[in-house]
Copies of this chain bind each other. A is one copy, B any other.
Amino acid sequence: MRYCSKCGHSVNMSIPIGDNRARAVCPNCEHIEYDNPRIITGTIPLYEGQVLLCRRNIEPRFGFWTLPAGFMENQESTSEGALRETLEESGSIAVCKQAFSMFSIPHINQVHLFYIAELERDDFHATEESSEVALFDLEDIPWDELAFSSVSKTLKLFIKDHKNGHYGFHDDVISANQLSSS
């Protein structure tokens, strides 16, 4: 951040009065630019006991499999964003059943949130963002080809809860020293 979004003047990093951390502050118009974590929202899309995965057609992790998810947008709820991303990435229409997992990832300033969702029908297809979209049996998840650690952790928790017959809500932190798909 080098210029003020309100007036175009160059900004300084300084601690505003009443605050306790450095922000981009404009010496011209006094506007303060806040930079906060972003939410990635997505689904575990289920159809007759199988889970839908998307093979990424974009970076990062091009070619790896993922649950459909993406940046939450303004003017939507977390579950609306999850279903929008599911449609955009897999061409499928789903319904959210419950919030299932939430991972804070402090070193990239993100929070990843996944909903258990059910596909309305066996209808999905490759998209601009996904070179391939497919249903997997839970015992056939391609663990070594998953794109992100939040995805693999979510799927592991889902399988564990599925075996126990009860789906909880799981809140955890992913730190910088964990591998991208571990």
Contacts and interface: CB of A to CB of B under 8 A. Distances in A.
A77 B104 contact: yes
Given A71-B36, A75-B106, A3 B2 contact: no
A8 B18 contact: no
A9 B36 CA distance: 23
A42 B156 CA distance: 28
Nearest to A74: B109
A75 to B, nearest CB: 5
A6 B3 CA distance: 6
A39 interface: yes
Contacts of A163: none
Copies of this subunit: 2
A62 interface: no
A5 B6 contact: no
A106 B38 contact: no
A7 interface: yes
Interface string A83-125: 0000010000000001100101011010100000000000000
Contact of A3 (B5, B24, B76, B106): B5
A73 interface: yes
A48 to B, nearest CB: 25
Contact of A169 (B75, B107, B169): B169
A128 B18 contact: yes
A106 B37 contact: no
12 contacts: A2-B6, A4-B8, A8-B10, A36-B73, A37-B39, A37-B72, A39-B39, A77-B104, A78-B102, A98-B171, A99-B102, A99-B169
